[in-house]
Amino acid sequence: MKELIIGGARSGKSALAEQFAQESGLEVVYLATATAEDKEMAERIRLHQERRAENWSLVEEPFHLAEALRANADDDRVLLIDCLTLWTTNLLLNEDPGLFQKERDALLACLPELPGRQIFVSNEVGMGIVPLGELNRRFQDEAGWLNQAMAVRCDRVILTVAGLPHYLKGAST
């Protein structure tokens, strides 16, 4: 099963994903797309790790997500991918201008073949004023298009608001 949890900043999307992973009873691999370069980001990763149970394992992969998914997906595992929006940022800021499209296509292509369960976390970033700057607009466009492409391919899609889940696709279990 593939799930997509979308939400604004501080909407509780990661906590919900972690709750689903925990409740599955399966082995959990946390696939972080953050790099620890940024001090603010490092602190967020530390908070994530504190919240995780000790039997979870961590894989950090800021760029090659499809490769990491193929390497880690398994019938008895939940992969928690947090998050697609940061991964999009990493790729758009990369010196190789074609990397985003290549990696995005690889992600979408690998999904049908993955065994086990995957929970993808992603941000909604399109409900404010259209931002200044070509890169910001490109980011907003790509993040929104990626959410659409993922939603088509996932069995369940949830929007989180104030920590509360709203099911956009697939029933509440």
List the binding residues for GTP: 7-14, 32-34, 60, 82
User: Which pairing describes strands 156-161 and 164-169: parallel, antiparallel, or unpaired?
Assistant: antiparallel
CA distance 121 to 118: 10
Q: Could you give the 3-state DSSP secondary structure of residue 62?
A: coil
Note the residues at the interface with a second copy (CB under 8 A). Answer: 4, 6-12, 40, 124-131, 136-137, 139-141, 143-145, 147-148, 150-152, 157, 159, 161-164, 166, 168-169
Minimum CB–partner distance for residue 139 and a second copy (Å): 7
**Which structure tokens are listed for 95?**
């010196």
Q: Which of 5, 30, 48, 84 is catalytic?
A: 48
Which residue's entry shows tokens 């961590």? 58
Minimum CB–partner distance for residue 146 and a second copy (Å): 9
CA distance 82 to 123: 10
Minimum CB–partner distance for residue 73 and a second copy (Å): 22
Reply yes or no on whether 48 is catalytic: yes
- Cite the active site residues: 48
